């Protein structure tokens, strides 16, 4: 897709501390000498990245703009080792995977947690990816320092904060398929040092590029509207209240998914039925042949498709300096999300299976409350905190319609021949998580820092299902339907775990450090609300023990500033949750603790900076295999690949600056290159990776 960007700056954008062009010395003054210092807040306080004993990638908002990273999916360009997926063919929601761990289908507990302004994002929504101060990608188990526990890692999105200086920008983009994209932000002080505000937003429209022959519509379009308003109030020195409100509205007509293959020994094809008088398997084979002849950008779907999202988020962060060395922070949030999706699940013009999940019956409410106390006491510094989350969902009426004509025995009296309609009604779920955590750093001697952290988490998961209602139209004559109501089912479970973190970091010089870390991670168990077998109603938590060693450095090669970070990790992963298809009547799916595995890998990040060029490169190697995995329908999957875990990922971003007079500004040519090896979407489907290159002047 081709785009043209036009930026109109109200004033110059303020620079960020991450990957800044200058460094900050001990006095707080900037200097052009020496390699750049990278300040991160991965441990909720500003630190030199060399002093943080974990693998971390930090990217400033300016660098995101420079590299044209505009959506969560684009993060692959700057964060090798991070895999991004859109959920259920919906561009509005995103899930992340790191080190072989992500989100099990249908479960709310992700392996990688995304945060916006220190608050976990429900469903990984990608709708707030604008006016960003910085993004930090933390790899490995998290939870002893802040927020929700995570077994695979965390991604911290920090929006730009209001300040005293008035500044802002407007960026417009035009592209093919009728693309119109506007991003803006403006803010400043209402009362200097007391009240500052900032308003930002993004509006995007693009026509679809896939044609649906059934109705002539265009799929794969985008229509997004998002706004964010922030206000910071500082009534007196040492006290600050930061409030953020955001709203997003997304709509598209669905992805151009199509029939790509047929499993001919599927038990469904053995039913004595037809579709509108045509046997099922031959009809699908004809539909597949027609689709292969058309190609992927022309489909034939008989069921209407649509994705929709409405979201409102409120975040309030209050910080109070109790003394010069003790700070109290409270973080409150409330999020309200509504979803809609209509989808043709069979990807063909045949009325096999379509799903409708309307706005009025599909919503999520999330409320979080977190309090932290941070202090410095001589050679010891640390934080203790309490985290409380409530997550309510309602799936409402989810309609699955099929017009498969089957001969079905309905008791001893008669046999029904005709179409079936099914509606799965889910009353909803209630999920809570409560945790105490703490982490402390001790410096027994100069240049050596020891870290110890612990977390106690208690989770509650519940599901209330009204079951599956079957409708047999005209079973007793015209207008006389037979309706078989579903069977209500309620189930719940409690889960708890103690997780921890032990680390040591030694600083050989101010520009060279090495560390070793061992951590215990946990992902909550959950509920299979529609399980047929009572033994499948609950599944247990996952656990991972992570071992990591690494080296971080920055130095000079003549006039070239260099930074280089390298780490190796090994994870022992047990009780792995996997989505299982069961050979039951009727067919059913559940989440089970079906596997255990081993994960190891290497992360490498290198950057070079000079007056005429900048080059950053990142490489991730990941070896993730199942040590044991038995699937009831697919057999022994041991030694197969983990989903969403490419073995190799590489990013290279060269930037060449043309020598021009200072009063002209900067003229540069840059490239952004991302490549990965094949990726497994499940143990069987493993498409190859295709390199992506973005060139800009």
Tokens of 507: 């600083």
108-156, pLDDT tens digit by residue? 678 899 999 999 987 655 567 899 999 999 999 999 999 999 999 999 9
Any domain includes 286: no
Q: Which pLDDT band, with edges at 50, 70 and 90, does 582 fall under? A: confident
Under 8 Å between Cβ of 371 and 385: yes
Backbone angles phi, psi at 294, to 5 degrees: -75, -35
Q: What is the distance between the alpha carbons of residues 146 and 154, in angstroms, rounded to a whole number?
A: 11
Any domain includes 330: yes
Any domain includes 275: no
Share the mean pLDDT of the chain: 83
Under 8 Å between Cβ of 126 and 72: yes
∠346-351-354 over CA atoms, to 5°? 55
Calculate the CA dihedral of residues 421, 426, 427, 428 and round it to 10 degrees: -160
Q: What is the distance between the alpha carbons of residues 246 and 650, in angstroms, rounded to a whole number?
A: 34
| CATH (domain of 152) | 2.40.170.20
Cis amide prior to 548 (ω within 30 degrees): no
Tell me, what DSSP letter sits at residue 121? Answer: P
Under 8 Å between Cβ of 536 and 577: no
Calculate the CA dihedral of residues 83, 84, 87, 88 and round it to 10 degrees: -70
Spatial CA neighbour of 145 closest among 130, 156, 135, 132 = 156
Q: The pTM is what?
A: 0.87
Measured over the CA atoms of residue 106, residue 109, residue 112 and residue 114, the dihedral's sign is positive
Any domain includes 263: no
Any domain includes 276: no
348-404, pLDDT tens digit by residue? 888 777 777 665 567 889 999 999 999 998 889 999 999 999 998 876 555 555 554
Report the domain count for the chain.
1
Under 8 Å between Cβ of 36 and 563: yes
The percentage of the chain sitting over the pLDDT mark of 70, rounded to a whole number, equals: 82
Under 8 Å between Cβ of 311 and 245: no
DSSP secondary structure, 44-56, as one string: SS-EEGGG--S-E
294-347, pLDDT tens digit by residue? 988 999 988 888 888 889 999 999 999 999 999 999 999 999 988 877 888 788
Any domain includes 71: yes
Q: What residue numbers bound the domain in which 610 lies? A: 3-258+296-696
Find the farthest-apart pair of alpha carbons in the chain and give their distance in angstroms, rounded: 92
Under 8 Å between Cβ of 143 and 151: no
Any domain includes 168: yes
183 beta partners: 171, 202
208-231, pLDDT tens digit by residue? 999 999 888 899 898 999 999 999
Tell me, what DSSP letter sits at residue 17? Answer: S
Query: Is 68 a residue whose pLDDT tops 60?
Result: yes
Query: Is 498 a residue whose pLDDT tops 80?
Result: yes
């Amino acid at each position: 897709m081709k785009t043209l960007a036009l930026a109109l700056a109200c004033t110059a954008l303020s620079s960020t501390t991450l990957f800044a062009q200058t460094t900050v010395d001990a006095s707080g003054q900037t200097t052009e000498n020496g390699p750049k210092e990278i300040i991160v807040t991965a441990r909720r306080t500003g630190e030199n990245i060399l002093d943080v004993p974990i693998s971390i990638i930090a990217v400033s908002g300016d660098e995101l703009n420079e590299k044209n990273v505009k959506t969560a999916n684009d993060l692959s360009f700057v964060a090798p080792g991070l895999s991004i997926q859109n959920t259920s063919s919906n561009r509005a929601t995103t899930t992340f995977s790191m080190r072989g761990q992500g989100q099990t289908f249908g479960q709310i507990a992700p392996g990688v947690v995304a945060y916006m302004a220190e608050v976990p994002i429900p469903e990984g929504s990608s709708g707030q990816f604008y006016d960003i101060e910085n993004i930090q990608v933390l790899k490995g188990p998290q939870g002893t320092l802040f927020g929700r526990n995570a077994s695979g890692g965390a991604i911290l999105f920090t929006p730009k904060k209001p300040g005293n200086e008035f500044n802002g920008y407007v960026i417009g983009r035009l592209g093919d398929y009728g693309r119109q994209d506007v991003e803006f932000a403006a803010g400043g002080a209402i009362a200097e040092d007391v009240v500052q505000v900032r308003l930002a937003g993004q509006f995007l429209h693009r026509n679809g590029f896939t044609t649906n022959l059934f109705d002539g519509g265009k799929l794969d379009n985008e229509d997004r509207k998002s706004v964010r308003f922030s206000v910071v109030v500082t009534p007196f020195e040492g006290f600050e209240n930061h409030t953020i409100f955001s709203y997003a509205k997304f709509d598209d007509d669905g992805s151009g998914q199509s029939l790509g293959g047929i499993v001919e020994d599927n038990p469904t094809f053995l039913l004595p039925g037809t579709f509108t008088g045509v046997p099922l398997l031959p009809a699908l084979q004809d539909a597949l042949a027609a689709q292969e002849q058309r190609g992927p950008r022309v489909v034939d779907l008989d069921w209407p498709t649509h994705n929709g999202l409405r979201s409102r988020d409120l975040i309030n962060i209050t910080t109070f300096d109790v003394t010069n060395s003790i700070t109290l922070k409270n973080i409150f949030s409330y999020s309200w999300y509504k979803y809609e999706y209509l989808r043709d699940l069979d990807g063909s013009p045949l009325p096999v299976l379509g799903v409708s999940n309307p706005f009025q019956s599909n919503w999520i409410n999330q409320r979080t409350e977190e309090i932290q106390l941070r202090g410095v006491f001589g050679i010891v510094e640390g934080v203790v905190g309490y985290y409380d989350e409530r997550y309510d969902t309602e799936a409402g009426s989810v309609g699955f319609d099929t017009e498969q004509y089957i001969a079905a025995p309905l008791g001893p009296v008669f046999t029904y021949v005709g179409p079936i309609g099914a509606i799965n009604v889910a009353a909803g779920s209630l999920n809570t998580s409560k945790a105490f955590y703490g982490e402390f750093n001790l410096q027994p001697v100069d240049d050596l820092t020891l870290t110890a952290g612990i977390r106690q988490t208690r989770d509650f998961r519940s599901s209330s299902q009204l079951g599956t209602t079957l409708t047999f139209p005209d079973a007793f004559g015209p207008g006389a339907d037979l309706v078989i109501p579903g069977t209500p089912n309620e189930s719940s479970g409690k889960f708890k775990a103690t997780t921890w973190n032990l680390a040591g970091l030694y600083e050989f010089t101010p520009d060279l450090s090495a560390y070793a870390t061992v951590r215990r991670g946990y992902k909550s168990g959950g509920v299979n609300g529609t399980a047929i077998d009572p033994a499948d109603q609950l599944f247990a938590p996952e656990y991972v023990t992570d071992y990591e060693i690494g080296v971080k450095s920055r130095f000079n090669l003549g006039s070239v500033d260099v930074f280089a970070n390298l780490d190796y990790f090994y994870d022992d992963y047990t009780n792995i949750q996997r989505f299982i298809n069961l050979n039951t009547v009727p067919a059913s799916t559940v989440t089970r603790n079906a596997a255990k595995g081993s994960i190891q890998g290497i992360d490498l990040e290198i950057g070079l900076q000079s007056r005429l060029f900048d080059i950053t490169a990142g490489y991730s190697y990941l070896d993730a295999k199942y040590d044991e995995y038995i699937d009831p329908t697919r057999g022994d999957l041991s030694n197969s690949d983990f989903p969403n875990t490419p073995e190799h990922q590489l990013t290279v971003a060269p930037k060449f600056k043309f020598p021009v007079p200072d009063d002209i500004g900067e003229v540069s040519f840059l490239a952004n290159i991302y490549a990965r090896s094949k990726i497994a979407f499940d143990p069987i489907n493993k498409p190859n990776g295709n390199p992506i290159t973005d060139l800009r002047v």
